[in-house]
Chains A and B, each alone.
Chain A
Amino acid sequence: DADVTQTPRNRITKTGKRIMLECSQTKGHDRMYWYRQDPGLGLRLIYYSFDVKDINKGEISDGYSVSRQAQAKFSLSLESAIPNQTALYFCATSDSRGGEGGLLQQYFGPGTRLTVT
Chain B
Amino acid sequence: QKEVEQNSGPLSVPEGAIASLNCTYSDRVSQSFFWYRQYSGKSPELIMSIYSNGDKEDGRFTAQLNKASQYVSLLIRDSQPSDSATYLCALARGSTLGRLYFGRGTQLTVWP
Q: Which residues of A come within 8 Å of B, CB atoms?
A: 31, 33, 35, 40-45, 48, 50, 58, 90, 94, 96, 101-106, 108-111
Q: Which residues of B come within 8 Å of A, CB atoms?
A: 31-32, 34, 42-46, 49, 51-52, 88, 90, 92, 97-105
Number of A-B contacts (CB under 8 A): 55
Q: Is the CB of B104 within 8 A of A104?
A: no
Q: Is the CB of B98 within 8 A of A94?
A: yes
Instruction: Give the residue of B92, B101, B102, B105 whose beta carbon is less than 8 angstroms from that of A104.
Output: B92
By Cβ-Cβ distance, the 6 closest A-B pairs, closest first, are A42-B104, A108-B43, A43-B102, A42-B102, A101-B51, A103-B49
Q: Is the CB of A42 within 8 A of B99?
A: no
Give A81 Cβ to nearest chain B Cβ, in Å. 22
Residue of B nearest to A106 (CB): B100
Q: Is the CB of B99 within 8 A of A45?
A: yes
Beyond A90-B43, A90-B44, whether A41 also contacts B98 by CB under 8 A is no
Q: Is the CB of A101 within 8 A of B52?
A: yes
Query: Which one of A42, A44, A94 has the highest number of Cβ atoms from chain B below 10 Å of its Cβ?
Result: A42
**Distance between Cα atoms of A104 and B43 in the complex (Å):** 17
Q: Is the CB of A105 within 8 A of B46?
A: yes
Instruction: Give the residue of B34, B46, B98, B103 whose beta carbon is less than 8 angstroms from that of A42.
Output: B103
Q: Is the CB of A102 within 8 A of B51?
A: yes
Give B14 Cβ to nearest chain A Cβ, in Å. 25
Q: Is the CB of A110 within 8 A of B49?
A: no
Residue of B nearest to A88 (CB): B41
Q: Is the CB of B49 within 8 A of A105?
A: yes
Q: Is the CB of A103 within 8 A of B44?
A: no
